[in-house]
Each structure stands twice: as structure tokens, then as C-alpha cells.
């Protein structure tokens, strides 16, 4: 069988790469990482939110190429249905797909105002109203999930929803976003996942930097 490859970009800056990588890990798929340099013009445009499409991460498996994170999630769910990327109950699956879709297509203000940067810490960061509205919506989603599915993750056990929202957790830490106890506890659990720890450790030793995202806020 042909080697399974996951093409990603910067572990420090790329939220979509983190999502795709976590999904593959959750699904139990063995893969080889192929890293696109931040010096690549197309990749740089994606990281700086200047590209009309997101083509990284890209999963190559069994001669098939899947380049959209939500498509990767659905593909992996078909490939490894017992991995539990989607909840077992139909209503919960519908909710999971809905909040994943909202993360996939929404929260533009949050993305632009609080770009992912694992190496940075901005204490007392001033959050403008547009980004705050996105934060409020995300925490509302989390509270509804904890109420309906009782934690410790969004749908009880880890699902694709946790992979989709994991980069948001890192943003909340980077920009010192104030959270209530329930949401803060969720962030701690996500950051403590062995795969998140491994990803963050690798991000810290990356030599590549994007000056545009390392500016002093």
C-alpha cells in the first residue's frame, strides 16, 4: 500500500495543519509528515489569511488526495468509523457536524485579530468587539456541549469537534482571553492531551518565523 502522507505547514502558526494532524492521530492512522516551508508563497499567503482557499493540510491516502480539513475529518471517519471521530448517536452527530462546520467557515474576526502563534504570550491583550463576539459565540457552543454531553470533552469523548476547536484553545492562551472556570478547564484538558503536548513542543523549536505574526501587539 502506498505511504500515507499528511502535508502540513508551520506547527507554530498553522491552525488548519494542527486540526488535520490531530484528526489523523485521533483516527489512529499512521502517516508521514511532509512540511511546506513558510517561505513558499502560497503557504505564506494561507498563513497570513491572504489566500482565498486553504490547501494545507492535505492528506494523501491510498491514491486519494483530500485537502480540506473538514473533508479530511469526514474521510477519516469513513476510513476508521470505530475511532469515534463522530458521536454514536444521530442527534449528537448532527450537532457535532454543525459546530465543526461553524468553526470551518466562521469566526473570521477571531482569526484575523488573534492569529495562532504558539510561541507568543500577550498578557492583558486588548480584544476588540468583533473578535469578542466570536469568543462569546465559541464559549456559548462549549457550554451547550458540556450541558448536553457532560464533558470532559465537547461530546463526552474526544471527537472531531475537539480537533476543530483545539487551535482556538491555543489562541485563548496566547492572547490571555479571560474564561470562566468551565471553559478554562476545557482548555487545560485540551492542552494536556499527549498529541497537543507533542505538537507544541515541535512548534517551539521551529526555526521559521513570520515577522507579520510576531509583531508586538
pTM above 0.85, yes or no: yes
Domain extent, residue 172, equals 90-200
Which of 30, 62, 83 marks a domain boundary?
83
The answer as to whether 125 is a domain residue is yes
Can you give the pLDDT at residue 46? Answer: 54
The answer as to whether 215 is a domain residue is no
Can you give the pLDDT at residue 51? Answer: 45
- The C-alpha cell that represents 5 in the structure block: 502522507
Tell me how far apart the alpha carbons of residues 39 and 32 are, in angstroms, rounded to a whole number. 21
Can you give the pLDDT at residue 50? Answer: 45
- According to DSSP, the β-strands at 5-8 and 32-35 are parallel
What is the distance of C-alpha 102 from the center of its chain?
Answer: 13
For the chain, the C-alpha Rg in angstroms (whole number) is 17
The answer as to whether 194 is a domain residue is yes
Q: What is the CATH number of the domain that holds 37?
A: 3.40.30.10
Q: Are residues 103 and 69 in the same domain?
A: no
Number of domains in the chain: 2
Distances (CA, A) of 119 to 87, 167, 179: 33, 13, 21
Can you give the pLDDT at residue 32? Answer: 96
Tell me how far apart the alpha carbons of residues 26 and 185 are, in angstroms, rounded to a whole number. 21
The answer as to whether 206 is a domain residue is no
Which residues of the chain have a pLDDT value below 70? 1-2, 38-54, 208-217
Q: What are phi and psi of 156, to 5 degrees?
A: 85, -80
Tell me how far apart the alpha carbons of residues 14 and 62 are, in angstroms, rounded to a whole number. 25
Can you give the pLDDT at residue 143? Answer: 98
Can you give the pLDDT at residue 47? Answer: 54
Q: What is the CATH number of the domain that holds 154?
A: 1.20.1050.10
Q: Are residues 70 and 103 in the same domain?
A: no
Tell me how far apart the alpha carbons of residues 26 and 83 are, in angstroms, rounded to a whole number. 7
Q: Are residues 75 and 113 in the same domain?
A: no
Tell me how far apart the alpha carbons of residues 132 and 124 are, in angstroms, rounded to a whole number. 14
Q: Reading across the β-sheet that carries 64-66, which strands appear in turn? A: 32-35, 5-8, 58-61, 64-66
Tell me how far apart the alpha carbons of residues 111 and 120 are, in angstroms, rounded to a whole number. 15
Amino acid at each position: 500500500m502506498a505511504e500515507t502522507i499528511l502535508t502540513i505547514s508551520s506547527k507554530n502558526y498553522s491552525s488548519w495543519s494542527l486540526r488535520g494532524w490531530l484528526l489523523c492521530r485521533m483516527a489512529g492512522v499512521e502517516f508521514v509528515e511532509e512540511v511546506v516551508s513558510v517561505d513558499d508563497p502560497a503557504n505564506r499567503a494561507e498563513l497570513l489569511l491572504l489566500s482565498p482557499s486553504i490547501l494545507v493540510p492535505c492528506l494523501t491516502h491510498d491514491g486519494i488526495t483530500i485537502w480540506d480539513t473538514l473533508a479530511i475529518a469526514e474521510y477519516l471517519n469513513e476510513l476508521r468509523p470505530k475511532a469515534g471521530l463522530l458521536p454514536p448517536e444521530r442527534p449528537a452527530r448532527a450537532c457535532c457536524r454543525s459546530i465543526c462546520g461553524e468553526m470551518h467557515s466562521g469566526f473570521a474576526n477571531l482569526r484575523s485579530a488573534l492569529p495562532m502563534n504558539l510561541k507568543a504570550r500577550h498578557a492583558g491583550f486588548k480584544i476588540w468587539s468583533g473578535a469578542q463576539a466570536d469568543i462569546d459565540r465559541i464559549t456559548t457552543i462549549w457550554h451547550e456541549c458540556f450541558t448536553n454531553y457532560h464533558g470532559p470533552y465537547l461530546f463526552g469523548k474526544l471527537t472531531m469537534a475537539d480537533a476543530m476547536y483545539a487551535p482556538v484553545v491555543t489562541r485563548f492562551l496566547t492572547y490571555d482571553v479571560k474564561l470562566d472556570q468551565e471553559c478554562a478547564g476545557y482548555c487545560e484538558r485540551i492542552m494536556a492531551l499527549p498529541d497537543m503536548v507533542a505538537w507544541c513542543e515541535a512548534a517551539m523549536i521551529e526555526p521559521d518565523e513570520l515577522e507579520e505574526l510576531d509583531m508586538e501587539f
